[in-house]
Amino acid sequence: MKTEIPYKIYLSEAELPKEWLNLRAFMKDKPAPLLNPVTLKPMTEEELAKVFCDELAKQEIDDQSKYIAIPDEVREFYKMYRPSPLIRAYCLEKALGTPAEIYYKFEGNNTSGSHKLNSAIAQAYYAKEQGLRGVTTETGAGQWGTALSMACSYFGLDCKVFMVKCSYEMKPFRREVMRTYGASVTPSPSITTEVGRQILRDYPDTNGSLGCAISEAVETASGLEGYRYVLGSVLNQVLLHQSVIGLEAKTALDKYGVKPDIIIGCAGGGSNLGGLIAPFMVEKLEGRENYEFIAVEPSSCPTLTRGKYGYDYCDTGKVCPMAKMYTLGSGYMPASSHAGGLRYHGMTSTLSELYDKDYMSARSVKQTEVFKAAETFARVEGILPAPESSHAIKVAIDEALKCKESGEKKVILFGLTGTGYFDMTAYKAFNDGEMQDYVPTDEEIEKGFGTMPTVNLK
């Protein structure tokens, strides 16, 4: 008989991974390289090092090293909140009446409230090691900005955050958390940068966008001695750092002899999903296991399910390198959604390539269904989930209910990336019955594709 599985599986601090897993190194068909938007040639490490820290530039282009050591200083910080718990959703299983076993890897038990801290602390560490004075970044919903503020505070680095103006105004509490950790938070567009002033001249009433905030952050870093720009998703380096999620989850499941049939995660830029699936995908790539992977995205921003695979700009301002990815076009304007973390027009190149080669599937879901699932989950499992994470909950519940019909005892694993404490405006809209769903028309999708590069890029 199997050992009884506890509600929460905590690994010991000694079991914390010592290396990150570099999924690309295991792929025969490598994700396409980043391109210089001017020369249209692959970005070199030297070019990347003008924007990113040296070590991160190196990690960004390294698709050969299968494992990369986690620096001791980063592991020490991880110990303050990792290993994160793998939770058996006994109460949810009971509430659904499903024969399925449901597990979730919970990344919300830290003050940043999400998995973002896993990469933020790594990026801050490399910046510190290089002797930099500070870093700049952008934040939309605010989770990444919060995580980076905490990481910079820990290493004594200056942290300048450009926060999309509408979030800055609608999420004053997120902003205040960042300030408490010593970061400076500027609403974007701002008058502190050339690109910000230009946008304010052209669109004086704009609420800002992630694209604009990225451009402001990059411009600010390049104009200051001892600063670099850092980013919380999409990049290869971020997926690498987030592999700690999947590595811990797999170790915990292996300990109890549990093998998942389905692995589910929400997908915005792909950082959490890429990290969660990493060690499992390796086994699938090597033909040793046949897990089913499901990426869940909002119907309002259906990058994988309705996007195109090709080279595109990563930001609206087109100052960043171009990436080959599933994309809706950098000019696609996702309708306002409460899952701000999933409103990115593209998908990290590694997941795009794996999706294109049918190693994983994708589903898009409507936000009212997502909040219904969030409410069900919160009431039985206790944890109030972030809207982003709730996309994964929705599909996990769907799959568990399919098992109820078929009688199959599948094992479902999903990533619970964060908590919803700073998303109560969204919950209020749901509680008041005032939440709207949005599914773009084919015309809107086509319009977004029209903003993709016209040059011939294979």
What is the spatial distance between Cα 176 and Cα 180, in angstroms, rounded to a whole number? 6
Spatial CA neighbour of 236 closest among 334, 292, 314: 314
17-46 residues near its own copies, rule: CB under 8 A: none
Asked if 184 is part of the footprint of its own copies (rule: CB under 8 A), the reply reads no
**Helical packing angle, 194-202 and 210-223, nearest 10°:** 150
335-374 residues near its own copies, rule: CB under 8 A: none
Cβ-based nearer residue to its own copies, 41 or 428: 428
**HSE-up of residue 259 (Cα within 13 Å, Cβ side):** 7
Smallest gap, in angstroms, from Cβ of residue 279 to its own copies? 23
What is the spatial distance between Cα 249 and Cα 396, in angstroms, rounded to a whole number? 16
Segment near its own copies (CB under 8 A), from 65-73, 134-142, 179-187, 343-351? Answer: 179-187
Segment near its own copies (CB under 8 A), from 136-144, 177-185, 298-306, 338-346? Answer: 177-185
Contact 414, 396 (CB under 8 A): yes
From 428, 436, 439, 455, residue interacting with its own copies (rule: CB under 8 A): 428
From 25, 49, 91, 258, residue interacting with its own copies (rule: CB under 8 A): 91
What is the spatial distance between Cα 106 and Cα 382, in angstroms, rounded to a whole number? 12
**Does residue 83 have a cis bond before it (omega within 30 degrees)?**
yes
In terms of residues, how long is the chain? 458
Coil vs helix vs strand at 323? strand
- Listed in sequence order, the residues at least 6 apart from 256 whose beta carbon sits closer than 8 Å to its beta carbon are 2, 3, 5, 9
Cβ-based nearer residue to its own copies, 172 or 287: 172
Dihedral in degrees, nearest 10, Cα atoms 130, 135, 141, 143: 40
Segment near its own copies (CB under 8 A), from 124-132, 234-242, 427-435, 446-454? Answer: 427-435
Cβ-based nearer residue to its own copies, 11 or 351: 11
Segment near its own copies (CB under 8 A), from 123-131, 178-186, 209-217, 354-362? Answer: 178-186
Distances in Å between the alpha carbon of 420 and those of 123, 362, 384, 417? 25, 24, 6, 10
Cβ-based nearer residue to its own copies, 383 or 403: 383
Smallest gap, in angstroms, from Cβ of residue 376 to its own copies? 11
Cβ-based nearer residue to its own copies, 380 or 457: 380
Cβ-based nearer residue to its own copies, 336 or 431: 431
Dihedral in degrees, nearest 10, Cα atoms 341, 346, 348, 354: 120
Asked if 8 is part of the footprint of its own copies (rule: CB under 8 A), the reply reads yes
Cβ-based nearer residue to its own copies, 37 or 341: 341
Asked if 419 is part of the footprint of its own copies (rule: CB under 8 A), the reply reads yes
Q: Which helix (H) or strand (E) holds 442?
A: helix 442-449
Structure tokens at 105: 């890897």
Coil vs helix vs strand at 414? strand
Asked if 406 is part of the footprint of its own copies (rule: CB under 8 A), the reply reads no
60-89 residues near its own copies, rule: CB under 8 A: 79-81
**Backbone φ and ψ of 68, nearest 5°:** -130, 130
Number of residues counted as binding its own copies (CB under 8 A):
41
Smallest gap, in angstroms, from Cβ of residue 10 to its own copies? 5
Cβ-based nearer residue to its own copies, 18 or 428: 428
Dihedral in degrees, nearest 10, Cα atoms 144, 169, 201, 214: 0
**HSE-up of residue 246 (Cα within 13 Å, Cβ side):** 28
369-398 residues near its own copies, rule: CB under 8 A: 375, 378-384
Cβ-based nearer residue to its own copies, 13 or 72: 13
Around Cβ 313, how many Cβ atoms within 10 Å?
Answer: 23
From 30, 42, 173, 406, residue interacting with its own copies (rule: CB under 8 A): 173
Cβ-based nearer residue to its own copies, 212 or 392: 392
- Strand 86-88 to strand 101-106: parallel, antiparallel, or no bridges (unpaired)? antiparallel
Asked if 103 is part of the footprint of its own copies (rule: CB under 8 A), the reply reads no
298-327 residues near its own copies, rule: CB under 8 A: none
Which parts of this chain interact with its own copies (CB under 8 A)?
A: 6-8, 10, 12-13, 79-81, 91, 109-111, 113, 150, 153-154, 172-173, 176-177, 179-182, 375, 378-384, 419, 421-422, 424-425, 427-428, 431
